Amino acid sequence: MRYRENREQTAELLRMVLPLMSRHAAGFHPLSFAVWYEYAAGTNQQLKAAVDARVAANVRLTDTDIEELFDRHVAMRDIESSMKVRARIQEVVEQVTETTAKASLEVGRYNDGLSGYQERLKRNFDKEALTEVVMGLLGDTDRVRSRTTDLQNNLEVNSREARRLQGELEIAQGKAQVDPLTGLLNGRGLEHRVRDNYPSGLPVGALLHLSIDQFAGVGDNAGHVLADRVLAAIAQVISNGAGHGTLLARSGGENYLLLLPGRSSAEALEQAERIRASVERCRVRRLDSETAVTTVTVSIGAVMLNGGEVLAAAVARAEQATALSSQEGGNRITVGGA
């Protein structure tokens, strides 16, 4: 796990982080908190050096600065951790392979020895020859047993190590592939999940691309805090209407993707309409007031998948359909072409 501080330590860090955040222009959102938390905790020296350099230059960090710092020094570190774990797993595999090869070689020698003993007894079956054969068999058996025991011990040790590394890898990948604001997969996470689940290409079904209409105005008029709440709220609405087996992702900015395996065109459009209507009814309020965003809607592009298509190509088709929905005024669904 990356964060090992206990409750009392995190409470103290919280008291340190809020003043740090308030001195800069970036919003009080999860990305900003993550950056300042690791800065205050002193666990990320590269991040601390990068922030200190900007502070020394009297730079007030903006949302763009925070996103850059997060991507380079927080998210990228998770990717590097993932690569290191993968390399260690490869070492474990190579160790097992080497031990197995040695055991296999010893067994091969043992078999050759048995054939030799058999030929010798055929030529001369006297007491002396029998004694030599028995002693040879005992020695060879001990060596094979020793090598087999080594192999078994090696497999047990490396099996435990592999399970531990797999857990670390899942943690590292999970942190690198999840959008911290919404809890959904990010674009990289969706790519990995599709690659793992569908190695031969996208399945038969549908892909929906959603974009919040005129989202830039939300941040300009209501502020970044409320804009982040809108992003999180829309993610929750989408999640509630996703259905079993759906893969969800925030693909960047105000955009979301839903992969619907096995859905027919009618089923996909019905699901898209439910989500569109739910978003239209959604009201997002500030935590500190009754101010509500009353005009949050989404444009949706829907494309059908025949199976085997590359994710990037399907996303491009869906984005084109979403763009048509936006051009027509938003808050509508457009079906994209093949």
> Along the 338 residues of the chain, how does pLDDT read in single tens digits?
456 566 777 777 777 888 888 888 888 777 788 888 888 877 777 888 888 888 888 888 888 888 888 877 776 555 555 556 566 666 666 666 666 666 666 666 666 666 666 666 666 666 666 666 667 666 767 676 676 666 666 666 666 666 666 656 555 555 567 787 788 888 888 998 899 899 999 999 999 999 999 888 776 665 666 778 888 889 999 998 887 789 999 998 899 999 999 999 999 999 999 999 999 988 876 655 555 666 789 999 999 999 999 999 999 999 999 999 999 999 999 999 87
**CATH class (in words) of the domain with range 187-335:** alpha beta
DSSP state of 202: P
Residues 259, 209 contacting (CB under 8 angstroms): no
The pLDDT of residue 121 = 60
Q: Which amino acid is residue 208, in one-letter code?
A: L
Helix H or strand E segment including 208:
strand 204-212
**What pTM was estimated for this model as a whole?**
0.53
Distance CA 248, CA 243 (A): 10
